[in-house]
Amino acid sequence: MARRLVSIDRETPMLMPPTIQEWVGRDDMARFVVDAVGAVSQEQCRYNWRGSGDEQYPPHMMLALLIYCYANGTFSSRKIERATYRDVAVRYITGDTHPDHDTIATFRRENGQLFQACFVRVLEVAKVLKIKCVGEVAIDGSIVEANASKTRVLSREQMRKQEVELEQQVEELLERARRAEVREAQAEDGHRLPDELVQVEKRREAMKRALETLGKKTAHRAAQRQQERQDFDRSGPGSPPRALEVEVQDADTLNLTDPDARLLPQKKGGYASSYNVQAAVQAASNAPLILATAVCDQSNDRRQLEPMIERTLAWHPDTKRVLVDSGYDNSAQIYKMEQRHRVVIYCPPEEKCDEGRKSLRRSEARERTEAYRQGMRACMKSSFGRQSQRLRSTTVEPVFGWIKKTLGFQRFHLRGLAKVNLEWNLVCLAFNFQLINRLTRIQKMA
């Protein structure tokens, strides 16, 4: 039986040189990213505008490169560098140039404001395309692991113990150096220490800095909480947040790799050094655009409703309804936001163990809180209230599922709360680009 196979010739050179334009389809996402990013102002970019030094890659190209790679599940700067050689669409974006991984990492680390400007720009594009139509907004949070190992988490008691042990090692090494006169043998000036002693000194100084950092963080959290207690509106429902200890306790922990990360509970059980990421999503099941983002180090969402609503309304003042789950049940914050911004917050209140109990001694604050929570229950029993949780679960929750499972973003690649905020913003930006590109292609096919 005769076989007809395509001839594969890897030796004969091409007669006519190909163009990058021919390699990428007209409806490819790479073209959409390049066009959208081209309209973003570069004024906020960290860039050497003087033109001195080596030639630099254009900010628009670097921004488009990061967005496209993140939207396709490539997060590592080394893998992005490799994609500039292997991926045709990436070669189209870079114009067949190849920035190295250090250049990519530096640009990503230093251009948070540029990412934010692009975030706003892509939502403007969505509004022009009639994809963005804000009325109801769903807010939710999720735990994402930090770029730090759990084994690097130490309590103050453990750090102090290690500090004492390191000081003893330093004393022993110094005594050994004096006896053997190692200093004079290794250096003409007699001041150079043995390598082993230098390493122990560094570890001891690092432990001291870690203890100082833990103390500063504890004091900062206590000061923030005290300010919240002073600003608390005692005429409304709820009770002031409890005060935090100013002094560091022996059980307080710090991650030596990423001091901003904290041990947070994981869905599959146990604890890991992580961050709590937040997203406000347009409550339209066919177009769940991410409208606002944030990252915090708290284990639950009870204190995140106010900052997320403030951020959402700052960019999208036409928001009328906010949908959240019971994890955001905070009567004081809900009351404050509804009074300040005239929005309706649909939050199913949790059942408190002391609610409904009759007591001879009931304070006015508790009476106000219970009356307000009865209003929250009545709001959830309304026609829209009964639909709100289903609408929330079909918009914001699938967004986190797509980011974690489809995109594969399981942990951060940067360290520190500020840089983690930057990377989460970039991930959500990539999600919006992917969504708008897909919906645009569907509109053209219809």
Is there a single domain that holds both residue 331 and residue 387?
yes
Note whether 330 and 238 are within 8 A (CB). yes
Question: What pLDDT score was predicted for residue 376?
Answer: 92
Is there a single domain that holds both residue 100 and residue 38?
yes
Is there a single domain that holds both residue 273 and residue 186?
no
225 to 28, 242, 246, 261, 292: CA distances (angstroms):
49, 8, 10, 19, 24
The stretches of 72-190 forming alpha helices (DSSP H) are 77-86, 88-94, 101-110, 112-128, 156-180, 182-186
Q: What kind and span of H or E run contains 265?
A: strand 262-265
Instruction: Quickly state the pLDDT bin for 360 (edges 50, 70, 90).
Output: very low
Is there a single domain that holds both residue 221 and residue 335?
no
The predicted-structure confidence for 309-349, as pLDDT tens digits, reads as follows 999 999 888 899 999 999 999 999 999 999 999 899 999 99
The count of other CB atoms within 10 Å of the CB of residue 414 is 20
Question: What pLDDT score was predicted for residue 162?
Answer: 87
Is there a single domain that holds both residue 181 and residue 92?
no
The predicted-structure confidence for 269-289, as pLDDT tens digits, reads as follows 889 999 999 999 998 878 899
What domain count does the chain have? 3
Nearest-angstrom CA–CA distance, 336 and 316: 19
Average the pLDDT over 431-446 and give the result.
Answer: 87
Note whether 281 and 289 are within 8 A (CB). yes
Is there a single domain that holds both residue 49 and residue 70?
yes
Decide which of 133 and 349 is more confident: 349
Half-sphere exposure (CA, 13 Å, Cβ side) for 128?
7
Q: Could you say which of 190, 225, 253 is where a domain stops?
A: 253
In a domain, 215, yes or no: yes
Cα dihedral sign for 276, 301, 299, 260? positive
For residue 350 the two structure tokens come to 């949790």
Distance of CA 286 to the CA centre of its chain: 24
- Residue 153: phi, psi to the nearest 5? -90, 125
Is there a single domain that holds both residue 269 and residue 326?
yes
Instruction: Look at strands 253-255 and 153-155 and give their pairing.
Output: antiparallel
Decide which of 45 and 426 is more confident: 426
Q: What is the CA radius of gyration of the chain?
A: 28
In a domain, 4, yes or no: no
Q: Could you say which of 253, 287, 320 is where a domain stops?
A: 253
Whether the pLDDT of residue 196 is over 80: the answer is: no
Whether the pLDDT of residue 408 is over 70: the answer is: yes
88 is in which domain, residue-wise?
20-110
For residue 298 the two structure tokens come to 């708290």
DSSP state of 150: G
In a domain, 294, yes or no: yes
Note whether 167 and 173 are within 8 A (CB). no
Nearest-angstrom CA–CA distance, 70 and 83: 12
Q: Could you say which of 253, 274, 300 is where a domain stops?
A: 253
Is there a single domain that holds both residue 158 and residue 198?
yes
Question: What pLDDT score was predicted for residue 134?
Answer: 80
Average the pLDDT over 158-170 and give the result.
Answer: 86
Decide which of 52 and 350 is more confident: 350
In a domain, 439, yes or no: no
In a domain, 446, yes or no: no
The mean of the pLDDT values for the chain is 87
Is there a single domain that holds both residue 138 and residue 186?
no
Instruction: Quickly state the pLDDT bin for 423 (edges 50, 70, 90).
Output: very high
Note whether 301 and 172 are within 8 A (CB). no
380 to 140, 212, 306, 320: CA distances (angstroms):
18, 47, 20, 16
Closest CA to 40 of 116, 105, 133, 131: 116
Is there a single domain that holds both residue 68 and residue 97?
yes
In a domain, 425, yes or no: no
> Strand, coil or helix: what is 427?
helix
In a domain, 274, yes or no: yes
Note whether 84 and 42 are within 8 A (CB). no
Average the pLDDT over 412-427 and give the result.
Answer: 95
Q: What is the CATH number of the domain that holds 406?
A: 3.30.420
The predicted-structure confidence for 71-107, as pLDDT tens digits, reads as follows 999 999 999 999 999 999 999 999 989 999 999 999 9
Is there a single domain that holds both residue 279 and residue 228?
no
In a domain, 39, yes or no: yes
Question: What pLDDT score was predicted for residue 413?
Answer: 94
Is there a single domain that holds both residue 244 and residue 290?
no
Nearest-angstrom CA–CA distance, 431 and 427: 6
Question: What pLDDT score was predicted for residue 364?
Answer: 82
